[in-house]
């Protein structure tokens, strides 16, 4: 008799905005989407977008619907917590009915966290971790300008805690935006380096979601964990993302004006967000947080630099999934050959778009490796989501190999 397989009885959790609108030029629907929510909109963005023609169009669009917009343009990359408090202080008196986040992940996460603080009050530390947000927050409308973080659809916001000098996450289904409006035209201005690091961030989301741990089906799991591990819906979106990102990332980096590549890449990043927003991410994300804190390098660069090492380390626990990734990107052959090719091609793609090959290339020092491994272990939600169980010794080996550019010998770690 055939052995029962996990997918004989599918289990699925999808976490997504109430409305997800995608397409070139579709930002023009903003006024229609927000009109039922009230008359006052706080727009969280940064200096670059605030000075753009797209911002003028957005203001006009909101004004047409009789919506008063107050713009906060002080969002900084990687979202230092001081900037979140500055926004809340400046905008509290305005008493907005909704918060619009337009920009990269930093601006969208700013909108989520400002909506949280304006609804439930501070301090922010109260909400670090999972399920700490007590209830609904002001509606957030997210418009990404990078492809990217997927924050427009995810239940998490990431900030840099200015006092602790560490990135921290606040995860709650209440932080999922009310609506996401994904207009690939907004990414046409991304320079190649930004396209590369944000696209590689999306690829890491998709691969880590597709290879995440699979938990036994449990009716309470979606209310015990924000990130429930891989499932039928996350698998579907992760593979869509991998197909689109492998197909178009290099093109979008090489040809910033290639509208088809931009559109496919944004489609890939949204799908990756839908995948990891339920399944979660794993070791590459756990290790990037302390690496980013020490090297002050962007999140996307760090996770993508780590990704091939993590895939190699995990290969023995997820060969079938890696083989499926191989097939999705057009590799034929035995499962083992396809799994091997998936790792090699991921490394080659990252190299071709200029992602640093090692943690040393990111600026990490050898004497910082043990601290990085110890801090990574503190991100229990990410460590426990890894397909292969991780001990501190494993993470030390992984970090050392990613520092030296050595392919981790998975058998030696078994």
Question: Which backbone phi and psi does 19 adopt, to 5 degrees?
Answer: -135, 130
CA 360 – CA 358 distance, rounded (Å): 5
Residue whose CB is less far from ligand NAD, 269 or 314 = 269
User: Which pair of structure tokens corresponds to residue 237?
Assistant: 């979106």
Answer yes or no whether residue 154 interacts with ligand NAD by CB under 6 A.
Answer: yes
**Opening angle at CA 68, ends 134 and 65, nearest 5:** 105
| Pair 40, 68: CB distance under 8 Å | yes
Q: Which of 169, 359, 355 is nearest to 280 (CA)?
A: 169
- Please identify, among the stretches 131-139, 156-164, 220-228, 357-365, the one whose residues bind ligand NAD according to the rule CB under 6 A: 156-164
Instruction: Determine, following the binding rule CB under 6 A, whether residue 194 of this chain makes contact with ligand NAD.
Output: yes
Interacting stretch for ligand NAD, rule CB under 6 A, among 25-33, 123-131, 189-197, 391-399? 189-197
Q: Which stretch binds ligand NAD (CB under 6 A): 113-121, 126-134, 148-156, 326-334?
A: 148-156
From 83-91, 127-135, 153-161, 240-248, span contacting ligand NAD (CB under 6 A): 153-161
Q: Which stretch binds ligand NAD (CB under 6 A): 1-9, 86-94, 145-153, 345-353?
A: 145-153
In angstroms, what CA-CA distances link 37 with 96, 248, 339, 359, 406? 10, 36, 48, 46, 53
Residues 288-317 binding ligand NAD (CB under 6 A) are 299-300
Whether 172 and 226 have beta carbons less than 8 Å apart is answered as yes
Cα(177)–Cα(152) distance, rounded to whole angstroms? 6
Q: Which is nearer to ligand NAD, 274 or 315 (CB)?
A: 274
Q: Which segments of 131-262 are extended strands (E)?
A: 140-144, 156-161, 166-171, 179-182
Is 104 a binding residue for ligand NAD by CB under 6 A? The answer is: yes
Is there binding between residue 151 and ligand NAD (CB under 6 A)? yes
Exposed, middle or buried, 191 (CB in 10 Å: 0-12/13-18/19+)? exposed
Would you say 152 or 321 has its CB closer to ligand NAD?
Answer: 152
- Closest approach of ligand NAD to the CB of residue 34, in Å: 21
Other CB atoms within 10 Å distance of the CB of residue 19: 13
Residue of the chain from 16, 61, 62, 78 that contacts ligand NAD (CB under 6 A): 78
Closest to 34 measured CA to CA, from 57, 58, 6, 5:
58
If the CB atoms of residues 151 and 386 are measured against ligand NAD, the closer one turns out to be 151
Is residue 58 within the footprint of ligand NAD (CB under 6 A)? no
Should residue 189 be labelled a site residue for ligand NAD when binding is judged by CB under 6 A?
yes
3 state SS of 365: coil
Of the candidates 318, 328, 306, the residue with the CA atom closest to the CA atom of residue 387: 318
Q: Does 204 participate in binding ligand NAD (rule CB under 6 A)?
A: no
Compute and round to an integer the Cα radius of gyration of the chain. Answer: 20
Task: Give the footprint of ligand NAD on residues 207-246 (CB under 6 A).
Answer: none
Q: Is 148 in the site for ligand NAD (CB under 6 A)?
A: yes
The answer to the question of residue 142 lying near ligand NAD (CB under 6 A) is no
Least gap, CB of 363 to ligand NAD (angstroms): 18
CB of 169 to ligand NAD, least distance (A): 8
The residues binding ligand NAD (CB under 6 A) are: 46, 48, 77-79, 103-107, 109, 145-146, 148-151, 154, 156-158, 167, 186-187, 189-190, 194, 198, 201, 299-300
């Amino acid at each position: 008799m055939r052995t029962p397989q996990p997918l004989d009885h599918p289990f699925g959790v999808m976490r997504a905005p109430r409305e997800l609108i995608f397409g070139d030029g579709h930002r023009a629907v903003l006024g229609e989407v927000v009109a039922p929510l009230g008359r006052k909109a706080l727009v969280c963005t940064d200096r670059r977008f605030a000075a753009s023609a797209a911002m003028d169009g957005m203001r006009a669009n909101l004004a047409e619907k009789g919506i008063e917009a107050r713009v906060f343009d002080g969002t900084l990359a990687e979202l230092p917590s001081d900037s979140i408090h500055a926004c809340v202080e400046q905008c509290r008196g305005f008493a907005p009915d909704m918060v619009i986040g337009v920009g990269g992940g930093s601006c969208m996460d700013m909108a989520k966290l400002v909506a949280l603080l304006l609804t439930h009050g501070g301090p922010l530390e109260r909400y670090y971790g999972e399920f700490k947000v007590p209830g609904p927050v002001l509606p957030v409308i997210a418009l990404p300008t990078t492809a990217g973080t997927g924050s427009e659809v995810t239940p998490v916001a990431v900030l840099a805690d200015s006092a602790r000098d560490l990135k921290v996450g606040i995860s709650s289904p209440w932080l999922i935006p009310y609506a996401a409006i994904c207009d690939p035209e907004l990414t046409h201005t991304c320079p190649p380096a930004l396209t590369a690091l944000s696209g590689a961030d999306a690829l890491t989301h998709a691969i880590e979601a597709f290879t995440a741990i699979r938990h036994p089906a449990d009716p309470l799991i979606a209310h015990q964990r924000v990130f429930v591990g891989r499932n039928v819906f996350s698998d579907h979106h992760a593979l869509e993302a991998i197909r689109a990102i492998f197909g178009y990332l290099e093109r979008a980096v090489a040809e910033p004006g290639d509208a088809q590549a931009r559109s496919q890449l944004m489609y890939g990043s949204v799908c990756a967000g839908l995948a990891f927003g339920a399944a979660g991410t794993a070791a590459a994300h756990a290790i990037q947080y302390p690496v980013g804190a020490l090297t002050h390098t962007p999140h996307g660069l760090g996770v993508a630099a780590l990704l091939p090492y993590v895939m190699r380390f995990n290969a023995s626990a997820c060969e079938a999934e890696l083989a499926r990734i191989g097939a999705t990107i057009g590799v034929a052959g035995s499962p083992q050959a396809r799994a091997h090719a998936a790792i090699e091609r991921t490394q080659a793609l990252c190299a071709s778009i200029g992602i640093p090959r090692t943690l040393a290339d990111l600026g990490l020092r050898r004497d910082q490796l043990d601290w990085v491994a110890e801090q990574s272990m503190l991100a229990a939600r990410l460590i426990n989501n890894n397909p292969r169980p991780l001990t501190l010794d494993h993470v030390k080996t992984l970090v050392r190999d990613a520092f030296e550019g050595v392919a981790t010998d998975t058998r030696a770690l078994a």
